[in-house]
Amino acid sequence: MSPEDLLSLRTQIDSVDRELLALLNRRAALAQAVGELKKKEGSVVFRPEREAQVIDGLKAVNGGPLQTDSVAPIWREIMSACRALETPTRVAYLGPAGTFSELAALGFFGASIVKVPCASIDEVFRTTTAGAADFGVVPVENSTEGVVARSLDLFLTTPLFIIGETSLFVRHNLLRRENGLKEIEAVCAHPQALAQCHGWLSNHLPNIERRPVSSNAEGARLAAENPALAAIASERAASEYGLHVVSPAIQDDPHNRTRFAIVTRPESHPQPKASGHDCTSLVVSVVNRPGAVHDMLVPLKQHGVSMSRFESRPARSGQWEYYFYIDLQGHPDETHVAAALKELRAVCAFFKLLGTYPIDVH
């Protein structure tokens, strides 16, 4: 390619970029107009099912060469910037800066949000319940270690409900001020991260203390202050705290993913409408008698409703009783799902709908 050809292509790209900017500003103006109508109606700004439908529609008509997987993150940022023109969106998550929870929040809502980092999962629930944040982002399940028990327990005791989900590929790295493994006294990380890297730590740092902390980013902060400490955290945390990535990708499962729930107060946000690919989450309990769990599942089979998750947690009553956390495929607006939920509620001693929301759009 000659210099003239390259210059011509760059000139064309510059021209397209200006066209894109003009179109984005046109879209932003339309979003502002929608925002004014929503204010008059008193309706909410963020509708996860609407954003999911927009992304699905664009992916369906994408002719390339732009990869279809690139459509969702691009348009999430566009919609985030447009949404910010209507009203700032405050999002609580397990902080500080550099946690995977922060990455999940940015991936779901886009960068144009007001970040509200919290010291614990409990604080995320409290902050969102109190209205200091519009939404909270909490981890609920990991592909290696299973459910995040604290999040599940808090769904029982708070009024928050789920309006969205997102999953994140979790790539753990060993971070440190010194670029090497010598003279490490302790590895600091969230207990889930320590568990997800158990094999690597046993092989490479078998006699080193594993020190649980409130978040991986907190471990990175501690490692930045003390050269004898190492942390397990993201590359973003390494950049945030000026640490070396001593060993990348140390998680035992190369396909390690964490699923996050997006929670909010029911009085401030309506239940998302059906998007065509939805999940309904609930927690139930049954009387401790023979066949009770079987009877609980019969309505799902009879009405053709599939379960994608079934977890039990102790009720802490001292009577060996359990709560069951269930994810169903479908939306209560669908006739067969509504019928199954009605019959299921009738056979349960306790029934709480945790939320219904679009399945994660990659």
Q: What is the pLDDT of residues 8-17, one digit of tens each?
A: 999 999 999 9
Q: What is the pLDDT of residues 15-47, one digit of tens each?
A: 999 999 999 999 999 989 988 888 888 888 888
Q: Give Rg (Cα) of the chain.
A: 23
Query: Is 109 annotated as catalytic?
Result: no
Told to judge if 127 belongs to the known catalytic residues of this protein, a careful annotator would answer no
Count H helices and E strands in the chain, helices first. Answer: 12, 15
Are 163 and 278 in contact by the 8 Å Cβ rule? The answer is: no
Rounded percentage of the chain residues whose pLDDT exceeds 70:
98
- Indicate the DSSP class of residue 63: -
Which range of 1-5, 142-146, 183-187 scores highest in mean pLDDT? It is 183-187
Q: What's the pLDDT score for residue 362?
A: 52
Query: What's the CA gap between 313 and 316, in Å, rounded?
Result: 9
Residue 96 has pLDDT above 70, yes or no: yes
- Those residues whose C-beta lies under 8 Å from the C-beta of residue 169, and which sit 6 or more positions away, are 255, 256, 257
Residue 136 confidence (pLDDT) above 90: yes
Condensed to tens digits (0 to 9), the pLDDT of residues 332-359 reads 999 999 999 999 999 999 999 999 999 8
pTM: 0.85
Which residue do the tokens 């399940």 mark?
141
The SS3 of residue 248 is coil
Tell me, what DSSP letter sits at residue 149?
H
pLDDT of residue 317: 58
pLDDT at residue 108 is higher than 90 = yes
Catalytic residue among 99, 127, 258, 280: 258
The answer, yes or no, to whether residue 71 has pLDDT greater than 60, is yes
Percent residues over pLDDT 90 in the chain = 70
Q: Which of 155, 260, 324, 356 is catalytic?
A: 260
Instruction: Provide mean pLDDT across the span 80-87.
Output: 88
8 Å CB contact between 247 and 205: no
Q: What is the pLDDT of residues 276-292, one digit of tens each?
A: 889 999 999 988 888 88
Report pLDDT for 289: 82
The DSSP secondary structure of 103-129, one letter per residue, reads HHHHHHH-SSSEEEEESSHHHHHHHHH
Q: How far apart are CA 266 and CA 254, in angstroms?
A: 37
Looking at residue 276, what is its pLDDT? 85
Q: Is the pLDDT of residue 318 over 70?
A: no
